[in-house]
Structure 1
Amino acid sequence: MNTILIVDDEYLIADILGFALEDEGFLVEKASNGRKALEALQEKRVDLVITDYMMPVLNGEELVLAIRKELQLPDLPVILMSGAQASQGRPELFAAAFDKPFDVEKLIAKVRELLGA
């Protein structure tokens, strides 16, 4: 069973997405900011990360860079979900990007594609 880490400081979005992924058979972990996400990744095996862009402590771009450099996880797929701010970042760092509000079914389809599920 695949584990997905959802990183978002908006609890409602994290909860809705988490419930949808759990209904599809995935295990879900949550973190409210980038630093907590890095801590979770050090403690648990995660197969995919879905992160917001605008968050306190570390934004989505800083998080993906830390995952690659600090944790040395170059192959961990990271999906970005964000509003307009994502265009300021570097989308090439992410396996996929979804604008908020996003279609949950399309996001789940991308998760399945990236995990080969």
Structure 2
Amino acid sequence: MPLIVIAEDEFLIADVLAMMLEDAGYEVESAPHGRAALALVQEKRPALVITDFMMPLMTGLELAQAIRGDAAIAHIPIILVSGAQGSIGRAHPDAFNAVLDKPYDEKKLIATVAALL
């Protein structure tokens, strides 16, 4: 079962997203901000990362750039899920493999995850 790391500072959103992914057959680990997510990615080497944009300590863009800058983990696909900052994510196609706007459709999210894996 592929591991997905979620970087999301809003607990309820992270919890709902984790339940959706677990119901679809994925293993999930969550982090409350980008720095914690980066540490999880470096330690666990997940199959995929899903990140919010606005988070304390490290934004989703900073997280994606840190992952892309580390040769050992640069290959890991990253999905940005964001409310108002989706356009910023789309302006950085080198950082994100996909950008989904909140509120996102569950089926579209799961299909995007499956396509990237």
Q: Same fold (TM over 0.5)?
A: yes
Structure 2 Cα separation of the partners of residues 77 and 44 of structure 1: 14
Structure 2 Cα separation of the partners of residues 88 and 114 of structure 1: 21
State the shift of 1:70 in Å: 3.8
State the shift of 1:15 in Å: 0.5
Give aligned-pair identity as a percent.
53
Give me the TM-score of the superposition, normalised by structure 1: 0.92
Q: 5+ unaligned residues in a row in structure 1: which ranges?
A: none
User: Does 2:79 align with 1:79?
Assistant: yes
For 2:31, give the aligned amino acid: A
Residues 31-110 of structure 1 mapped to structure 2, 5 A cutoff:
31-70=31-70, 72-89=72-89, 90-92=91-93, 93-110=95-112
Moved more, 3-12 or 85-94: 85-94
For 1:103, give the aligned amino acid: D
The root-mean-square deviation of aligned C-alpha atoms, in Å, is: 1.3
SS of 1:81's partner is strand
- Runs of 4+ in structure 1 off by over 4 angstroms are none
Structure 2 Cα separation of the partners of residues 50 and 3 of structure 1: 11
Aligned to 1:2: 2
Q: 5+ unaligned residues in a row in structure 2: which ranges?
A: none
How many correspondences in the alignment?
115
